[in-house]
Structure 1
Amino acid sequence: MSLLPSHPSPSRNSTLRLVHFPQSHLTVRYGSRKILGTVTLQSGGSYTGWSASGVCSREALQQKYDQALTETHATTLYAETTECHIKRMEKLWTDTLLMRSDIALSCAIFNLEPRETLRECQTARIENFLHWVLRTCTIKKTSAVTTYWRQLSQLHITWWQCRISPQTLKEIFVFIEGPLTKEYGLDNTESEKPLLEAEEFMEVIQCHWAADINIFPNERQRVQVAAILLLAAYTGSRPGALLHITYRDLRLYVEKHRRTGKHELKLKVTLTKTKSGQKRKRP
């Protein structure tokens, strides 16, 4: 239940009038959409005279404003696996600058500190780090070195809440694809990833229903596997997101086609376990 002022466009001095409602709590609205607060109703009581300034005072807004100025917010949401990779890169970057014998002497001379060194983001420092990675780790492909560089960029965002400059990103990518690949003889070829054609997918579904000899503990699981295969084909979502779908994330409804006027059965899927951690809806 919502209570609105008498005028469609509430003025600055508009007040809210509340009438008795037989519930323990009542949500108060000012205007058409903004929720201002919840009033606790006593038995047989009523409340009048609530104003916008009483619910959202100037002091409260000023406090929120000052808090926003002092807080730092992450610019990107990362999945759990990505955060694990960032922590691994943090240890690798820190150990490289502080513990390794081949760089310890330069750290002592130049007084390097991991966070500040990454913040300065000098191209020569990053190139030296990639050289060390290739000499100490077993890496044979250029794409693997590029992954290390991406994770180091994500570590920069985590530490300093800002991204590396586009010019530095471009210079390092060119360095990895060119001189670094040539010096260490890295494989820069891309493996083909063929797509599954519609006819091949139909054969997979047919095999699942008609020719599969596997026995499920519960035959409902056979239906669930078929549903996951169809959702993967139609939405292109990640396997982790599909495997976390529950029945409450599925909504089956009937909608009328705009042109033909025929009723169509549609399914809306809400993905709760995505890479960024945000809910996404797929028709």
Structure 2
Amino acid sequence: MSLEVVVLVLFGAALHATWNAIIKAGTEKSLDAALVSAGGAVAALPFLGLLPLPLPAAWPFIGGSAILQFAYFQLVAAAYRAGDIGLVYPVMRGVAPLLIVASSGYVLGETLSGGALAGVVTICAGILTLAFEARHGSRRAMLLALANACVIASYTYVDGIGARRAGNPVSYTLWMALLPPVLLFAWAFSQRGTRHVRVNWWRGLIGGTGSIASYGIALWAMTKAPVAMVAALRESSILFALVISVVVLKERASPWRYIAGGLIAAGVLVLRLG
């Protein structure tokens, strides 16, 4: 993996942790998740006319991704209602690349090296370390985070393949961003109304721009390097989320979170080098 890809994916990881913190800090997490998704769509609109349409083979993947993204944002909101970002985020983002690396040989025919297997074991150690903190936290938050890790792994495969078939990964990303807000807002409005949106629209625009930029970088990188490796490297966002949880959101972090964050980051690094 080239240095250019590594640096851009790490930048995208920082953006990803930031927009998750925006949702966690909000008072209406389902609506904030919908706002972030809508913000991504607004950020995408000005560029649609400048890029070619995705090739026909990519459109089924765009549709499938929209459904998975809807499930993803719903689970993000539910998990952040149940637990701290410093606990929920590492589980969501740490387990997902583990699932991808473990199954990529069957799904994509990618061969796992010894270094990749070592990275999987290290990430597992980090996730098991978080289980110690879960004894004193919300088990519901942990279960929601684990469920969302499965969704993340699923849409990573869908979008990784879709971006490769689209002919232009940026165009795929922008079109993919348009459908989830429709589903999310329909659900959120039916539950909570519109006042929160009028007051907090700017949060969605900032978070959504960061979200679409982060994911666009990842999909571009997946056209340059194996999907499993990009997905794993992207999860360095765990460290950014840990810093945000302590410094910005003032969450209390036990030593287990720091140990887990370090182990997960080390596993990501091993996967990168492997």
Tell me which interval the TM-score lies in, with the shorter structure as reference length.
under 0.3
Using CA pairs under 8 Å that are at least 6 residues apart, name the structure with larger relative contact order, 1 or 2: 2
Structure with greater proportional helix content = 2
TM-score, structure 1 as length reference: 0.22
TM-score, structure 2 as length reference: 0.23
Instruction: Tell which structure's C-alpha radius of gyration is larger.
Output: 1
Structure with greater proportional strand content = 1
